[in-house]
Chain A
Amino acid sequence: MAAIIVGIAAMVAITSFRQNLTKSVNAQAKELLGADLEVTSHRPFEPELREVLDSLGGQESTVLRFPSMAYYPETGATRLSRIRAFEGDFPFYGEFETIPEQAEKRLQDETAALVDQSFMSQYQISTGDSVKIGTVTYVIAGALVKVPGENPGSSFLGPAIYIPKRTAENTGLLQRGSQIDYVSYFKFPENTDMKAMEDQLGDLQETMNFGFDTVRERQEEVAEAITYLSNFLNMIGFIALLLGGIGVASSIFVYIRHKVNTVAVLRCVGVSSNQAMLIYLIQAASMGFLGSLMGAILGSVIQVYLPALVQDFFPVDIEMFVSWSSIAFGILTGLLISILFALIPLLAVRKISPLYTLRTAAVNLTKLLPNSTKGILALLVCVFITSYAWLMLGEFLPALFFTLGLGFCLVVLTAFAKLIMKLSRSFTKTGLKYEWRQGLANLYRPNNQTTTLLLTFGLGVTMISAIFLTQDMILNQIDFGDQDGLPNIALFDVQYDQNEGVNQIIRKNGFKIVQNAPIVTMRLEAINSRDISEILIDTSRTQRRWALSREYRSTYRDTLLENETLTEGKWIGSIKGLDQAVPVSVENAIMEDLDLSLGDTLTWDVQGIPIQSYIASTREADWDQPQPNFFVVFPKGVLEAAPQFFATTIIVPSQEASMALQREIVQAYPNVSAIDIGQIINSVKELIGKITFVIQFIGFFSIITGLIVLAGTTATSRFQRIRETVLLRTLGAQKKQVVKIQVIEYVLLGIMASLTGLILSVGTSVAIGYFYFEIEFIPDFIIIGAEIAILTLLVLIIGLINTRGIHHKPPLEVLRAEVS
């Protein structure tokens, strides 16, 4: 029953939470965006777009978003930040949450800024301190807690700083080459036809490069994210519930085995086979109902704590209420699972013959059922699982794959269990000491817990450990910090006339420049002489939209870099003059997205000047390295005269040196931005940590279920254990010998279950690494060893707790029970 409680608790907690979250999102829908419409573009709005926007009417508030270094003179801290220069009444819905309250009002007529609260507390920056952005020094009016429309999860990209837009121009950061997003927020009268507006803007998007978001779209995006997250968590919780089901089946099995005689006697006195089954079915269903009810109550309590786990990902205040529908659904599911899984042993009750009153032979319940019945039951379980998964995931195929995957895991775990039992059987025949032989024999004894524990605990371990190992694998992959020869600071927005000065600062400090790449911005004008605007409106096009309309940041050089491999064609490092088409090298990813072939011609608009090029070679770049990579590389001799800026990567030996260098560069060249790769990695690690914690929190229910099932099965076989212990004591066994047998049994059981789970999880992680992330997974044996030790200890503790007191039973008590 406890196993069902845990499973249902997980399920009800997640479904209730989902409902609460969805309800909160709907209630705060407009605050998700802060406006009715948001329009974004990487360049100032084109006149045609401006005209349409002006015709929409309503209130408008504009924001410039761009990254920049922020320097805090009081503490000496520098940090790449997300600057938002705003004017107007944004947000139209919801409000800035600041400390002190309404600090944003000071931005109206002061040169003041609002800075991300967690960043301020991390760097011990106080309200009233100053922050220098570009060439302007702002007084910090307050700490920014929450802003409508800002996704709390994005803070890992750098702290957000709000400044008045009227001061932005003075910063000197709005020059060519800077990455600026031009954003306009609109508020319309209540009765505005938003759908028509969406259609109109959608049409305009076909020819113009801008993005827009409405409350409805944002709401849908958030709802989709909630659905994904809750579905995923729900499936993990569902596994805990299924494990509970296995626990129910296994304890009823043991229970019924003790009741064979009772059933036989009932059958003798005229109870029909169906009545006999019904007696126990009602019992199982009542237990299932009670368990589900208690689980639903527990789940409703747990859901109160779930927002704390996910509040970093969702931009709403989550209001909690009791979700009766989730509770009802949870109880129904728990009841169904209890009955379904209990049916497996209970159908065998129908086959218990009255003849067993006369026989003392041991009854094998599973053998009582014909294979056809077992097949039907297995099918029913599969149908149930698939249907539930279908209901949760909304799609049939993933649901089927879920069932198949789960089935595969269970088959592997059962096979392992059988193998372990076979091996332990053969080991007992060897010359091992008695305690070892008896401990091993307990693994395949009647009423053994090997299969049940391997299934429940093993599956829980598989799941938790696979999540953990995959997280570790991803973190290792992005952890460039310890890798020699890789840059750890990247500078960008270095203007042409600043490049030499910046490089001098780096060299003066004795640091190594890995790459100093010139960047020229350009747009595609035509592919094989076909206009991009023409391709864009062609509905049968094979090229991806973003690749056609994006701004390309290309470089020029005469050599391939170490992290690049030529895949096709010939590398041409330099040419003289523009008399002929320029041979360029194109990266494979963009070759695919633009559906290009070697030799295709590309016409570029390099800031007003058309340049004809052809694809002379293709390259594969290693995007995993912290280096600027380029989709298109031009040869030397073409772009030197074009307006350009530089990106520079540097190797700096320590965090202190990195901070000092950033400070020096920012003070000399305020527009230059520095990405501290180590800091980004830490932020990403933190984010991944938060995400995996949520998953592991739910996955942990499976481990708990596994342990409860173990506790349940040891409890049901307790009588048999007492009898055996007493027998051994009668024959002269010392207490320590009996304890040793139990310890050997549980330690072996623990090792086997955790090892099997871990083998499966390593396999899963290798597969995820290979197929999904394309990275090689090298398991950390210290972590795996530690996991096995902890899990084994857990099994041992549960096992010993359940057999406690056995040694104090007077032998005669048990012998008498046998006689009577």
Chain B
Amino acid sequence: MTNILEVKDLTRQFKSGSKLLTVVNHINFNVSEGTSCAIVGPSGSGKTTLLGLCAGLDRPTSGQITLNGVSLNPLNEDERAKVRNKHVGFVFQTFQLVPTLTALENVMVPLELRGEKTKEVRKHAAELLSDVGLGDRGHHYPTQLSGGEQQRVAIARAFINQPKILFADEPTGNLDTDTGEHIEQLIFDLNQKKGTTLIMVTHDLELASKCDRIIRLRNGKVDEDSAANTQPQAISG
């Protein structure tokens, strides 16, 4: 299996007053294509920072990230946006839908940004909304949807560009248990059906346990990596 994500000696430091804060500290790991990986750890352990760095949303202080064979380091913002638009899907804890667009239009955004034909994109988006059980809610605005429904729209949006890799940041963190489980199911189903690699940041150990692999962070370092036991070929760190 080839690596979709390669992280080498990754460090991210922030200035906090006169102090230098190391949030991600010399982290190394690789993720194989089509697998699922949970990043867990206490608050402040660097989970979201690591996820953002992997997705090209932030620049590391040092170290290398290679996403789908492309090194993110030398790319400028626009080039990285292009990579994300082509290969990456996102699901956020706070859904992050555009409030002025309907559910259907929100799903359409990634492909529309590519300049694809609206008619076809619309059809594709409608199919995806049906897949997440919101086929009849396409014309509703985010405020007219419940939290669970908004997250399902976000999932449909995340999958519309048929991403190679999906980054999910606490996808069930704002949802009740039942809705949360439904969303989990959806993410894992799509992950398997479409062969998408899943990288998920979560506090929920039960949810994490459903992933192929768990990376536990503490103080910006990998404290434990389950793949070290079960999938030694996929990691080196």
Contact = CB atoms under 8 A, between A and B. Distances in A.
Interface of A: 360-362, 428, 431, 433-434, 437-438, 441-442, 444-446, 724, 727-735, 737, 807, 810-813, 815-816, 818-819
A316 B96 CA distance: 67
A815 B47 CA distance: 13
Contacts of B84: 730-732
A791 B177 CA distance: 54
Interface residues of B, number: 42
Contacts of A730: 55, 57, 84, 90, 96
Nearest to B160: A731
12 contacts: A360-B147, A433-B115, A441-B101, A731-B84, A731-B90, A731-B113, A732-B82, A732-B84, A732-B86, A732-B161, A812-B52, A815-B52
Nearest to A362: B143
B138 to A, nearest CB: 12
Contacts of B82: 732, 734
Contact of B48 (A446, A732, A812): A812
A438 B101 CA distance: 8
Contacts of A362: 143
B152 interface: no
Majority secondary structure of chain A interface residues (helix, strand, loop or mixed) = helix
Nearest to A723: B96
Interface stretch (B62-70, B104-112, B223-231): B104-112
Nearest to A735: B78
Nearest to B58: A812
Contacts of B119: 431
A816 B81 contact: no
Given A731-B109, A811-B57, 9 more contacts: A434-B108, A438-B98, A445-B100, A729-B77, A732-B113, A732-B161, A734-B113, A735-B81, A737-B113
Contact of B99 (A446, A732, A818): A446
Given A730-B84, A819-B169, A735 B49 contact: no
Contacts of B170: 819
Contact of A811 (B58, B112, B113, B118): B58
A738 to B, nearest CB: 10
Contacts of B159: none
A431 B108 CA distance: 12
Contact of A818 (B77, B92, B110): B92
A441 B142 CA distance: 14
Contacts of A731: 84-85, 90, 109-110, 113, 157
A732 B49 contact: no
Contacts of B118: 431, 433-434
Contact of B105 (A437, A807, A815): A437
A730 B90 CA distance: 8
Contacts of B114: 732
Interface string B154-176: 00010001000000011000100
Contacts of A433: 112, 115, 118
A815 B77 contact: no
Contact of A442 (B55, B100, B143): B100
A819 B98 contact: no
A758 to B, nearest CB: 28
A157 to B, nearest CB: 61
Given A431-B118, A731-B84, A733-B113, A724 B94 contact: no
A361, A431, A734 — which one has the most chain B CB atoms within 10 A of its CB?
A734
Interface in B104-160: 105, 108-110, 112-115, 118-119, 143, 147, 157
B221 interface: no
B85 A441 contact: no
Ranked nearest first, the 4 interchain pairs of A and B with the lowest CB-CB distance are A732-B85, A812-B52, A434-B112, A441-B100
A819 B93 CA distance: 7
Nearest to B93: A819
A734 B78 CA distance: 5
Interface string B172-192: 001000000000000000000
A816 B46 CA distance: 11
A811 B52 contact: yes
Nearest to B157: A731
A238 B228 CA distance: 74
Contact of B94 (A734, A737, A819): A819
Nearest to B174: A360
A193 to B, nearest CB: 78
A727 B96 contact: yes
Contacts of A727: 96, 98
A65 B48 CA distance: 91
B213 interface: no
B48, B58, B100, B119 — which one has the most chain A CB atoms within 10 A of its CB?
B100
Nearest to A447: B99
Contacts of B78: 734-735
A708 B108 CA distance: 36
A445 B57 contact: no
Contacts of A813: 58
A445 B114 CA distance: 23
Contact of B110 (A442, A446, A732, A816): A732
Given A731-B85, A812-B49, A819-B93, A434 B109 contact: yes
B58 to A, nearest CB: 4
Nearest to A729: B81
Contacts of B100: 428, 438, 441-442, 444-446
A731 to B, nearest CB: 5
B196 to A, nearest CB: 16
A133 B59 CA distance: 88
Contacts of A441: 98, 100-101
A716 to B, nearest CB: 16
Contacts of B59: 810
Nearest to B101: A441
A730, A734, A811 — which one has the most chain B CB atoms within 10 A of its CB?
A730
A387 to B, nearest CB: 41
B176 to A, nearest CB: 13
A99 B109 CA distance: 76
Contacts of A734: 78, 81-82, 113
Nearest to B110: A731
Contacts of A733: 81, 85, 113
Nearest to B49: A812
Contacts of B110: 731-732
A559 to B, nearest CB: 72
B96 to A, nearest CB: 5
A392 B32 CA distance: 78
Interface string B8-41: 0000000000000000000000000000000000
Given A441-B101, A730-B84, A732-B85, A818 B52 contact: no
A819 B174 CA distance: 10
A728 B57 contact: no
Contacts of A428: 100-101, 105
A431 B203 CA distance: 42
B104 to A, nearest CB: 10
Nearest to B143: A362
B96 A818 contact: yes
A812 B93 contact: no
B55, B57, B94, B174 — which one has the most chain A CB atoms within 10 A of its CB?
B57
Contacts of B52: 811-812, 815-816
A586 B210 CA distance: 105
Contact of A810 (B57, B86, B94, B157): B57
Contacts of B48: 812, 815-816, 819
A807 B77 CA distance: 9
Contacts of B174: 360
Nearest to A737: B113
Contacts of B143: 361-362
Nearest to B99: A446
Nearest to B117: A431
B131 to A, nearest CB: 19
A632 to B, nearest CB: 72
B5 to A, nearest CB: 17
Contacts of B98: 438, 441, 724, 727-728
